[in-house]
Structure 1
Amino acid sequence: MTRFLTGEDRLATGLGGLFWTRKGRTMRPVIIALDFPSQATALDFLTPFAQTPNLFVKVGMELFYTAGPEILKALRQRGIQVFLDLKCYDIPHTVEQTMAQLGRQGVALVTIHAAGGAAMINAAKRGLVTGAQAAGVTPAKLLAVTQLTSTTETQMQTEQLVQADMPTAVQHLARLAWQNGADGVIAAAPEDPVIHAATAPDFLCINPGIRLAADAVDDQKRVVTPGRAAELGSNGLVVGRSITRAQDPVAAYQRILQEWGD
């Protein structure tokens, strides 16, 4: 098995810990979205990153529904932090029981949909804490998805019958998540300022929809560059295709880190 930098190695870099504060802002390196169809493909992709410090990846529905908890174990064994992005959205009891299972997995971040409401968000947090305590691991941070970055304001208003503008709708969901125990939100970077204005200083804005200037936006609608996300107050970036489809993924990752300012 390829050796990745361990937790001890990472502490030696001076960037230990899941999040840290820089210039009054909570920061985190870029999270690589492992949107691959199999565990073998995902792990092969990561091989060139073996000596990259503070590696942090996202496991979404495609990979998790194929590989299951085994992919989480394989990543932990390599010393890699995991964002488990399953966007749970169900009745509170079901979400609580689901989060109790996910809380046992030793991942760093998990997601729900903020639209599930106050009771569901509270239940998710309870489940995460219960599962983590049972397994003797640190509870994952709970992130609530506001509006997908593939959704335009017009789509939101016509298909979801939300009559507010996008910043107002996202701010409302972010405040709801914060008031009910979530540690942060998943949102497009342009909404970060209104989210920070309505929540606590340590409430996290993690942003997908990140592209290098020369890259295609594909199915994303509300897209920004890493540098622009930093200016808007982002606490962390989730980047997939700009890295995974690059001719040199490690070089693309390093370029994004430089633009991001870390």
Structure 2
Amino acid sequence: MKEKLIVALDVSTRQEALGLVEQLWDSVGAFKIGMQLYNSEGPDIIRDIQALGGKVFVDLKFHDIPNTVCQTSRVITRREAFMFSIHASGGVEMMTKSASAVREVSGQLEIPKPLVIAITVLTSISQEVFEKEVGISRPIEDQVVNWAKLAQQAGLDGVVASPQEIRAIRNACGNDFVIVTPGVRPLWATANDQKRVMTPKEAVKQGATYLVVGRPITAQQNPGEAARKIVEEMEEAFDA
């Protein structure tokens, strides 16, 4: 079950990031590098984490014209990322070209193909914000499922979506489609800026493939203990 847990390294320095990796590499499945850490330390942080035995999810949410995202996908593949993200709202052509580039490069280099997943609707966005500020007048779940189906059509491996959309995505895209779920908060943690949240047990029970957890682990005095408590909560989904 620990392989399903991805820790978000939402820190600004190499020292902080590697300190967390050293404490957690044998307790979790992978580490997520977002814009904060990547822009602070550059791409070498990927290699540094890998050198300590950690798999890396590069979560930079690429969103640009198809050719730019395609070429960027080639770069990330050569860095042997375990997973990386692009925006579903970039369209089918952008997603298709990215997926094709990843297959081509990983085949040429004979390296494991990274999972390419599409961002749907950020977990910080509520239905009210979605309608009044984003300007999409439909239920978030409907839009998430639509983007998930387009991502699958384009050849991507899965999507990032809040726990509340897991079941609908599973029904639309099947059991082999990867669902990466942020917005997961154990019972003993606060929601922070997340709006559409669920506990680890609930998310696994709904059918999440991977859970992304940051502050409930990284902000604790003993991150390793916090990670093990979350894995225990996840395991309860199968014990019930």
The bucket for the TM-score relative to the shorter chain is: over 0.9
**Aligned equivalents of 1:154, 1:48: Cα separation in 2:** 39
Aligned residue for 1:252?
A: 226
2:142 aligns with one of 158, 168, 183: 168
Residue 74 (structure 1) aligned with residue 79 (structure 2): no
1:197 aligns with one of 171, 175, 179: 171
Q: Secondary structure of 2:57's partner?
A: strand
Indicate if the aligned counterparts of 2:163 and 2:208 stay in contact, CA closer than 8 A: yes
> Which consecutive unaligned segments of at least 5 residues does structure 1 have?
1-14, 16-26
User: Deviation at 1:148?
Assistant: 0.2
Q: Give the TM-score taking structure 2 as reference length.
A: 0.93
Letter in 2 for 1:32: V
Residue 58 (structure 1) aligned with residue 29 (structure 2): no
**Aligned equivalents of 2:131, 2:28: Cα separation in 1:** 40
Q: Give the TM-score taking structure 1 as reference length.
A: 0.86
Residue 41 (structure 1) aligned with residue 23 (structure 2): no
Indicate if the aligned counterparts of 2:73 and 2:98 stay in contact, CA closer than 8 A: yes
**Aligned equivalents of 1:54, 1:246: Cα separation in 2:** 15
Which range moves more in the overlay, 217-226 or 63-72? Answer: 63-72
Q: Secondary structure of 1:261's partner?
A: helix
Aligned residue for 1:23?
A: none
Indicate if the aligned counterparts of 2:28 and 2:227 stay in contact, CA closer than 8 A: no
Indicate if the aligned counterparts of 1:98 and 1:127 stay in contact, CA closer than 8 A: no
Q: CA RMSD in A?
A: 1.6
User: Deviation at 1:53?
Assistant: 5.1
Aligned residue for 1:18?
A: none
Aligned residue for 1:140?
A: 114
Which range moves more in the overlay, 207-216 or 143-152? Answer: 207-216
Aligned residue for 1:9?
A: none
**Aligned equivalents of 2:14, 2:104: Cα separation in 1:** 28
User: Deviation at 1:56?
Assistant: 1.1
* Structure 1 stretches of at least 4 aligned residues deviating more than 4 Å after TM superposition: none
Superposed CA deviations along residues 29-54 of structure 1, whole A, max 9, x for unmatched, are 2100011101111112222235x255
**Aligned equivalents of 1:49, 1:164: Cα separation in 2:** 40
**Aligned equivalents of 2:131, 2:3: Cα separation in 1:** 33
Indicate if the aligned counterparts of 1:28 and 1:235 stay in contact, CA closer than 8 A: no
Indicate if the aligned counterparts of 1:210 and 1:226 stay in contact, CA closer than 8 A: yes
Indicate if the aligned counterparts of 2:131 and 2:137 stay in contact, CA closer than 8 A: yes
Residue 93 (structure 1) aligned with residue 91 (structure 2): no
User: If each structure's helix is expressed as a fraction of its own residues, which one has the higher value?
Assistant: 2
> Which consecutive unaligned segments of at least 5 residues does structure 2 have?
none
Aligned residue for 2:181?
A: 207
Residue 180 (structure 1) aligned with residue 160 (structure 2): no
User: Deviation at 1:160?
Assistant: 2.0
User: Deviation at 1:134?
Assistant: 4.2
